Structure 1
């Protein structure tokens, strides 16, 4: 009973913080509520599940704070019927939320351990439209068709123009771009014809993207 109350209180506090930022999308917030974050964080950190703190997870990776995660999803603007590609599964939380709105989600991760754990969470929640795969996502997923939305949670050093071929017309991707050696800017890139229109959103704490799948872990 207590864990359920902590979950509800954590979510309610998160909603208040998000509304102060102007984020009140009912479909998105409902999807977040239906995807309990406590099931995605390490057991010793469940009290931090809805905090704005970055949470360490397996394989030296991390999970975005709750505020940043929902802020990114708000900017991604996923709609029913969309096919979505996520580069960097991590815990699987954002893939789970997207899966409650979109038609299909393909989420790729370089660490096998994270893939296995995230897929188990999707299965436990009955999210059969979310596929988690171990793959090198540094060049997207050519050969998988086109996507309406792409979310990347590792930073590029230059504008990833090659992704344009993997987006539908009018489709968009949200991805971080390195500004210098330490800072990166979240950007939204919208496909218009064969070009991208770039919109800078806000700075975020992401590391540069690493090519190839992990040989261990």
Structure 2
């Protein structure tokens, strides 16, 4: 496991311990027995990634509003997706949709290097500040359009927190052979399928792993926000 948050990090506060214990029970019921992942999630202070009015929901499964009309996914779904990503100590990971920066910090403890892209300047700047504050040194946070991936590839793993309306075939060149991508496929007003896409030759092998409801991915950089 890689070096992650530095001196500024801390194990969850005593007020969160009951919530974390409940999260652990839900994770086990969902078939997630990865104690390394559980330990990493516990070590990243999730309250610091949300407004004070939502601190009581830090370990909850529900989504939480954040700036720019976006949301922080519930902890259960975040854990499920990170678990499905199978990142390890040699993985180069691309994250599309930095949001608050929480999942980038979690991934920083599991992967060798994380490139995280956020199209909203406000979210990018706040997340980059949190990442620096926690002493994370293996996350590269960029204000960028992630709809077509990144020129820093190829990557071992890619995760997108936005949905694609159809199979994102253009991402196959962003992955190393045998690399995988976790994303949702489906329109905003239709059922979306969470999939693992594994690169085999010049194509994807698809495995459906659940259902979600994400905002559709958008191209370009907003002039404001």
TM-score, structure 1 length as denominator? 0.95
**Partner of residue 173, structure 1:** 181
Q: Distance in 1 between matches of 2:25 and 2:214?
A: 25
Q: Distance in 2 between matches of 1:77 and 1:145?
A: 18
Q: Structure 1, residues 43-94: CA drift from partner, whole Å, max 9, x if none?
A: 1100011111110001110000111110111111111111000000111111
Matches within 5 A, 1:96-111: 96-111=105-120
8 Å CA contact 1:7–1:36 kept in 2: the answer is no
Structure 1 residues 182 and 123: CA distance shift in structure 2, 3 A: same
Partner SS for 1:75? helix
**Partner of residue 66, structure 1:** 75
Q: Which has the higher contact order (CA 8 A, sep 6+)?
A: 2
8 Å CA contact 1:179–1:185 kept in 2: the answer is no
Q: Distance in 2 between matches of 1:151 and 1:145?
A: 13
Aligned match of 2:43 in 11, 34, 42? 34
Matched, 1:146 2:154: yes
Listed as ranges, the gaps of 5+ residues in structure 2 are 1-11
- How far did residue 36 of structure 1 move? 1.6
Please identify runs of 4+ aligned residues in structure 1 that moved more than 6 A: none
Q: How many residues align?
A: 214
**Partner of residue 85, structure 1:** 94
Matches within 5 A, 1:1-217: 4-141=13-150, 143-178=151-186, 181-217=189-225
- How far did residue 182 of structure 1 move? 2.9
8 Å CA contact 2:188–2:215 kept in 1: the answer is no
TM-score, structure 2 length as denominator? 0.92
Q: Distance in 2 between matches of 1:8 and 1:100?
A: 21
Q: Distance in 2 between matches of 1:100 and 1:7?
A: 21
Q: Distance in 2 between matches of 1:6 and 1:148?
A: 37
Q: Distance in 2 between matches of 1:39 and 1:75?
A: 25
Q: Distance in 2 between matches of 1:51 and 1:32?
A: 13
8 Å CA contact 1:87–1:151 kept in 2: the answer is yes
